[in-house]
Chains A and B, each alone.
Chain A
Amino acid sequence: MIPAPFDYARPTTVAEVLQAVASGGEDVKILAGGQSLIPVMRLRLAAPETVVDLGGVAELRGVREEEDAIVIGAMTTHSDVLSDPLIAANAPLIAEATATVADRQVRHLGTFGGALAHADPAGDLPAVALALDAEFVLVGPGGRRTVAAGDFFVDYLTTALQEGELLVEVRIPTLAGRWGMHYEKFNRVAQAWSIVAVAAAVRTENGHIAEARIGLTNMGPTPLRAAAVEAALAGVDATDEAIASAAAHAAEGTSPSSDLNAQADYRRHLAQVLTRRAVRAAAGL
Chain B
Amino acid sequence: MTQISVRVDGVNYTDDVEPRTLLVHYLREQLGKVGTVVGCDTSNCGACTVHLDGEAVKSCSVLAVQADGRAVTTIEGIAQDDGSLHPMQKAFHEQHGLQCGFCTPGMIMAAIDLVHDNPDPSEHEVREGIEGNLCRCTGYQNIVRAVQAAAADMRGAAHATATEPAGAPA
User: Measured between alpha carbons, how far is A105 from B63 in the docked complex, in Å?
Assistant: 15
- Contact indicator A39/B62 (Cβ below 8 Å): no
Near A by CB (< 8 A), chain B positions 22-52 give: 22, 25, 41-44, 46, 49, 52
Chain B residues with Cβ below 8 Å from A51 are 19
CB distance from B14 to the nearest CB of A (A): 16
When C-beta atoms are compared, the residue in chain B nearest to A3 turns out to be: B20
Closest to B129 in A: A104
A104-B114 contact, Cβ under 8 Å, with A8-B65, A34-B61, A79-B55: yes
Q: Do residues B2 and A8 form an inter-chain contact, with CB atoms below 8 A?
A: yes
**Chain B, range 49-101, C-beta contacts under 8 Å to A:** 49, 52, 55-58, 61-63, 65-66, 68
- Among residues of B, the one whose C-beta sits closest to the C-beta of A99 is B128
Q: How far is the CB of B45 from chain A (nearest CB, A)?
A: 10
B131 contacts partner chain A, Cβ-Cβ < 8 Å:
yes
Chain B residues, CB < 8 A from A176 = none
B110 within 8 A of A: yes
* Prevailing SS type, chain A contact patch: mixed
Indicate with 1 or 0, residue by residue over A37-61, a CB within 8 angstroms of chain B CB atoms. Answer: 0110110000000010101000000
A104 touches B43 (CB 8 A): no
Q: In the assembled complex, which residues on chain B have CB atoms less than 8 Å from the CB atom of A86?
A: none
A265: interface (CB < 8 Å): no
With a cutoff of 8 Å between Cβ atoms, the chain B residues found around residue A10 in the complex are: 65, 68
B18 CB within 8 Å of chain A:
yes
Residues A6 and B19 in contact, CB atoms below 8 Å apart? yes
| Contact assessment for A39 and B65 in the assembled complex, using a CB-CB cutoff below 8 Å | no
| A42 proximity list for chain B (CB < 8 A) | 22, 41-42, 61
Interface residues on B, range: 20 to 34
Q: Judge whether A64 is part of the interface by a CB distance below 8 angstroms.
A: no
A38 and B2 form a contact (CB under 8 A): no
From residue 179 to 204 of chain A, which have CB atoms closer than 8 A to chain B? Answer: 190-191
B52 / chain A contacts, CB cutoff of 8 Å: 108-109
B55's partner among A7, A31, A34, A108 (CB-CB below 8 A) is A108
- Kindly list chain A residues whose C-beta atoms are within 8 Å of the C-beta of B110: 104-105
Contact with B along A1-41 (1 / 0, CB 8 A): 11111111010000000000000000000010011001101
Q: Which residues of B contact A108 (CB under 8 A)?
A: 52, 55-57
- What are 24 A-to-B residue pairs whose CB atoms are below 8 Å? A2-B20, A2-B22, A3-B20, A4-B20, A6-B20, A10-B65, A39-B43, A53-B66, A103-B46, A103-B131, A103-B132, A104-B114, A105-B46, A105-B49, A105-B57, A105-B58, A105-B113, A105-B132, A108-B57, A109-B57, A109-B61, A109-B62, A190-B127, A190-B128
Given contacts A34-B62, A108-B55, 10 further A-B contacts (CB under 8 A): A2-B22, A3-B20, A8-B19, A10-B65, A42-B41, A104-B114, A105-B110, A105-B113, A106-B58, A190-B131
Binding site for B on A (CB under 8 A): 1-8, 10, 31, 34-35, 38-39, 41-42, 51, 53, 55, 79, 102-106, 108-109, 190-191
Residues of B within 8 A of A (CB): 2, 18-22, 25, 41-44, 46, 49, 52, 55-58, 61-63, 65-66, 68, 110, 113-114, 127-129, 131-133
Nearest first, the 9 A-B pairs at minimum CB distance are A103-B132, A8-B19, A190-B131, A108-B55, A3-B20, A105-B132, A105-B58, A38-B61, A105-B56
